[in-house]
């Protein structure tokens, strides 16, 4: 006898009493019951989690273990548990209702959006995934933000209208006359979920009974995906939570800018413009300063090392590579060999530029060998990266260039 699927008959049933029919002890511990309210993962909807209780004394149930996941395997509904139970044990099972109900809200909202997109644009939902944070739908056609906002408005009207969601089990004959969305040819009994005026779809998942339970449908993002689009949306309690978090964030940002929450986009834009203007000014000042320092250096030196560390540093932090190259060229007017060292992105990483009146490639090779580096270039200028201690790099460069050959 297959497990009786109580969740299909009533998705609002939270608990059940059942008997252990099979206990599987392979890599993981799994139980199969004679009947269950636990929905097994399928159709983009995660499997239920929950708790199992056993009867300690007649009428007294104590917690036995958690159900960490529910899946359908070889046509059986298996409950993943942390502690097994012998066949024949009577149990009480209870699903994590808060999570399940959020999935029901999101799943029904997804039906309405997919159904309306299909009706208006003829696109199919070719991928669907629900997680803790959002619902992701892939459509096989392109939709822009304005079109999706129109869809959002329409489906939320359906939420306001408090429509009854129907589940039908049509015969093969009845089915042949029905128009419904379906991802694949289904063998056996087909379950059709109908949101009147919005969607008719073959689906085995869990849905709410009335559309007002969805509370609201909010589309969060759209991006191009495999010739179509990937749409992210959220419904019900999850949407409320999302709104709360985003509201708190926008209030905080607004406060730090001393503007109203609706003005933060403008405030951020202004700050970014100001920021890039300041950056440009700073880089001009830094360049001028570096040139002046360089001007005062004495001519005819053997080696100059430019770094961004220490009080006498000539390179400013985050100095852009073009500027470093320009400074190396200026320093070359004062010395035969020049090394510029700037911090890389990785730990202990330095970027180097070597300018030389002899052969920069020979110097780069020696530096690369000594400091696990890589890079190269022309005889006049080389560049690359090194790993290790900046002071040691400086000392080593001086030692290999110090004496005239």
Query: Minimum distance between the CB of residue 107 and Zn ion, rounded to whole angstroms?
Result: 5
Contacts of 25 by beta carbon, 8 Å cutoff, 6+ apart: 84
- Site membership for Zn ion, residue 190 (CB under 5 A): no
Query: Minimum distance between the CB of residue 110 and Zn ion, rounded to whole angstroms?
Result: 7
- Site membership for Zn ion, residue 203 (CB under 5 A): yes
- Of the pair 137, 338, the CB lying nearest Zn ion is at 137
> To 5 degrees, how large is the angle CA 231–CA 97–CA 73?
75
- Of the pair 40, 205, the CB lying nearest Zn ion is at 205
Kindly tell me which residue out of 47, 205, 228, 355 binds Zn ion, with binding defined by CB under 5 A: 205
- Of the pair 54, 204, the CB lying nearest Zn ion is at 204
SS3 call for 236:
helix
Extract the tokens encoding 353: 């530029």
Site for Zn ion in 318-357 (CB under 5 A): none
- Site membership for Zn ion, residue 155 (CB under 5 A): no
Neighbours of 265 (CB within 10 A): 11
- Site membership for Zn ion, residue 194 (CB under 5 A): no
- Of the pair 205, 236, the CB lying nearest Zn ion is at 205
- Site membership for Zn ion, residue 115 (CB under 5 A): no
- Of the pair 205, 373, the CB lying nearest Zn ion is at 205
Which residue stretch of 69-77, 141-149, 204-212, 287-295 sits at the interface with Zn ion (rule: CB under 5 A)?
A: 204-212
Structural contact between residues 84 and 29, judged by C-beta atoms closer than 8 angstroms: yes
- Site membership for Zn ion, residue 11 (CB under 5 A): no
Query: Minimum distance between the CB of residue 271 and Zn ion, rounded to whole angstroms?
Result: 45
- Site membership for Zn ion, residue 40 (CB under 5 A): no
Backbone angles phi, psi at 311, to 5 degrees: -75, -25
Which residue stretch of 46-54, 181-189, 198-206, 292-300 sits at the interface with Zn ion (rule: CB under 5 A)?
A: 198-206
- Site membership for Zn ion, residue 109 (CB under 5 A): no
Which residue stretch of 93-101, 116-124, 203-211, 254-262 sits at the interface with Zn ion (rule: CB under 5 A)?
A: 203-211
Task: Give dist(CA 40, CA 42) in Å, integer.
Answer: 6
DSSP states of 314-369: -SPTT--HHHHHHHHHHHHTTEEEEEEEEE-SSTTEEEEEEEESS-HHHHHHHHHH
Query: Minimum distance between the CB of residue 197 and Zn ion, rounded to whole angstroms?
Result: 17
Side-by-side strand order, sheet with 166-168: 166-168, 192-195, 199-202
> What DSSP state is assigned to residue 213?
G
Task: Give the distance, in angstroms, between the CA of residue 106 and the centroid of all CA atoms in the same chain.
Answer: 18
- Helices 97-121 and 145-160, axial angle in degrees (round to 10): 120
Task: Give dist(CA 85, CA 72) in Å, integer.
Answer: 19
Q: For CA atoms 40, 41, 46, 49, give the dihedral sign.
A: positive
Query: Minimum distance between the CB of residue 186 and Zn ion, rounded to whole angstroms?
Result: 13
Task: Give dist(CA 129, CA 401) in Å, integer.
Answer: 62
The residue of the chain with the least Cβ separation from Zn ion equals 203
How many residues belong to the site for Zn ion (CB under 5 A)?
2
Closest C-alpha to 382, from 391, 374, 393, 394: 374
- Of the pair 42, 141, the CB lying nearest Zn ion is at 42
- Of the pair 145, 169, the CB lying nearest Zn ion is at 169
Which residue stretch of 202-210, 278-286, 322-330, 359-367 sits at the interface with Zn ion (rule: CB under 5 A)?
A: 202-210
- Of the pair 70, 368, the CB lying nearest Zn ion is at 70
Query: Minimum distance between the CB of residue 84 and Zn ion, rounded to whole angstroms?
Result: 32
Which residue stretch of 199-207, 213-221, 303-311, 375-383 sits at the interface with Zn ion (rule: CB under 5 A)?
A: 199-207
Task: Give dist(CA 146, CA 204) in Å, integer.
Answer: 32
Which residues here bind Zn ion, judged by CB under 5 A? 203, 205
């Amino acid at each position: 006898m297959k497990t009786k699927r109580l969740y299909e008959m009533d998705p609002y049933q939270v608990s059940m009493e059942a008997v252990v029919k099979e206990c599987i002890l392979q890599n993981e511990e799994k139980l199969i019951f004679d009947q269950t309210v636990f929905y097994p993962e399928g159709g983009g909807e995660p499997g239920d989690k929950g708790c199992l209780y056993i009867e300690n004394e007649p009428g007294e149930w104590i917690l036995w273990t958690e159900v960490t996941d529910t899946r359908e395997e070889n046509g059986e509904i298996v409950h993943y548990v942390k502690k097994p139970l012998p066949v024949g044990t009577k149990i009480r099972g209870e699903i994590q209702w808060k999570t399940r109900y959020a999935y029901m809200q999101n799943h029904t909202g997804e039906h309405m959006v997919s159904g309306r997109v299909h009706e208006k644009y003829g696109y199919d939902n070719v991928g669907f995934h629900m997680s803790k944070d959002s619902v992701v739908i892939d459509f096989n056609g392109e939709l822009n933000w304005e079109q999706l906002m129109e869809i959002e408005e329409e489906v939320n009207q359906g939420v306001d209208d408090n429509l009854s969601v129907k589940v039908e089990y049509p015969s093969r004959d009845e089915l042949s006359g029905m128009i419904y969305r379906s991802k694949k040819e289904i063998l056996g009994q087909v379950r059709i979920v109908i949101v009147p005026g919005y969607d008719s779809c073959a689906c085995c998942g869990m849905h709410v009974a009335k559309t007002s339970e969805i509370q609201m449908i909010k589309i969060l993002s759209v991006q191009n995906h495999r010739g179509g689009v990937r749409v992210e949306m959220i419904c019900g309690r999850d949407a409320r939570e999302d709104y709360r978090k985003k509201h708190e964030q926008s209030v905080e940002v607004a406060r730090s800018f001393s503007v109203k929450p609706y003005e933060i986009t403008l405030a951020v834009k202004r700050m970014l413009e100001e920021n890039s203007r300041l950056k440009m000014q700073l880089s001009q000042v830094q360049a001028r300063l570096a040139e002046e320092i360089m001007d005062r250096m004495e001519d005819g030196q053997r080696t100059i090392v430019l770094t961004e560390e220490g009080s006498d540093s000539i390179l400013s932090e985050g100095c852009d590579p073009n500027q470093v190259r320009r400074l190396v060229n200026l320093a070359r007017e004062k010395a035969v060999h020049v090394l510029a060292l700037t911090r890389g992105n990785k730990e202990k990483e330095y970027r180097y530029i070597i300018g030389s009146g002899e052969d920069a490639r020979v110097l780069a090779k020696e530096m690369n060998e000594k400091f696990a580096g890589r890079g190269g270039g022309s005889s006049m200028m080389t560049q690359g990266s090194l790993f290790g201690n900046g002071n040691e790099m400086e000392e080593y460069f001086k030692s290999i260039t110090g004496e005239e050959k």
